[in-house]
Amino acid sequence: MAAGVFIPGGILTSGRVLQASKNKLKFRAVGGLPQGAFPSYASYVIEGTIDLRTHSGVATKNVFAGPPEAMSTIALPGLSRTIRITEVEDSGGVLRVRGVVDDRSQLHNGENPYIDITIDSGRDVASSSFMDSKVSLKLE
């Protein structure tokens, strides 16, 4: 799956058009945790579907055991979130997605229930936060 700018008949990403259902955008972004100079031992995955007509949708954030190149299907407990997308803004091919965590009882003390996700299809990256730190993810 990939993310990009909606155009009639598909999604433009990295100079190519991918088929998409009408007015829907599906995305999946993956990055290693921790980020920086340390080796990754977990994979942070954000994926979702956006209705571009209503600027709404649903996304999930999960953390899986193993780095992105060897990610398992085991989700680490207490780190999964379902996000209700409430706003989508297109700024010249970069989508700024805002939403709120559906089940706030899963949040850790001080964790913000409001989520921002930036999807830059031109660079094949997405960014968001994880435990109050900004993280960069690769679009798949």
Mean pLDDT, to the nearest integer, of 8-26?
A: 54
- Distances in Å between the Cα of 38 and the Cα atoms of 33, 49, 137 are 9, 31, 16
User: Does the pLDDT value for residue 119 go beyond 80?
Assistant: yes
pLDDT value for 77: 96
pLDDT value for 2: 41
pLDDT band at 121 (very low <50, low <70, confident <90, very high): confident
Mean pLDDT, to the nearest integer, of 115-135?
A: 94
C-alpha span between 104 and 128 (Å, rounded): 18
CB-based contact 5:17 (threshold 8 Å)? no
pLDDT (tens digit per residue) in 56-107: 999 999 999 999 999 999 999 999 999 999 999 988 889 999 999 999 999 9
